């Protein structure tokens, strides 16, 4: 319901290659670190967004989406569901084209707001699982 195949394909292939990954840090044990690496291997530019603003995978980090000084195509959200809605709203505010809530990240009201604002959105899925399936 929140991740139809057409929207997944469009976000991964046609929406753009600059992905802000919210919750990405240098902690290699966190899912965000591995998913960001997969996205990089598939040609996506990763922009780490984390309060620490660390450089991750060679890319400069930012403390928030609004701190990023260039356009972002997709916002990939690795924060818990209680915080995800605010991130989706910020994605709308910065002019992102799509929002992707990772596995287990669910906020139906945020989904509705993002879609109403004209963004593509996927919820409770992982792009690192989906992108190899496009083959």
Report the mean per-residue pLDDT for the chain: 96
Average pLDDT of 29-42?
A: 96
Question: CA-CA-CA-CA torsion for 89, 7, 17, 38, nearest 10 degrees?
Answer: 100
Q: What is the pTM of this model?
A: 0.96
Sheet holding 98-101, edge to edge: 45-49, 18-22, 74-77, 98-101, 120-122
pLDDT at residue 124, rounded to an integer: 96
What is the distance between the alpha carbons of residues 47 and 65, in angstroms, rounded to a whole number?
9
∠ CA 99-56-133, nearest 5°, is 50
Question: CA-CA-CA-CA torsion for 72, 73, 78, 84, nearest 10 degrees?
Answer: 90
Both ends of the chain: CA-CA distance in Å? 23
DSSP 8-state secondary structure symbol assigned to residue 44 = P
pLDDT digits (tens, 9 = 90+) for 59-110: 999 999 999 999 999 999 999 999 999 999 999 999 999 999 999 999 999 9
- Is residue 2 scored above 90 in pLDDT? no
pLDDT at residue 3, rounded to an integer: 86
């Amino acid at each position: 319901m929140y991740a139809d195949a057409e929207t997944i394909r469009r976000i991964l292939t046609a929406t753009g290659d600059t992905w802000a990954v919210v919750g990405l840090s240098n902690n290699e044990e966190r899912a965000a670190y591995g998913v960001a690496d997969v996205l990089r291997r598939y040609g996506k530019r990763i922009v780490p967004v984390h309060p620490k603003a660390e450089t991750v995978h060679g890319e400069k980090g930012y403390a928030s989406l609004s701190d990023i000084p260039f356009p972002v195509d997709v916002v990939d959200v690795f924060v818990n569901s209680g915080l995800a809605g605010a991130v989706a709203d910020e994605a709308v505010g910065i002019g992102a084209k799509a929002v992707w809530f990772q596995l287990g990240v669910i906020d139906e009201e945020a989904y509705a707001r993002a879609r109403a604002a004209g963004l593509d959105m996927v919820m409770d899925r992982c792009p690192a699982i989906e992108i190899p399936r496009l083959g």
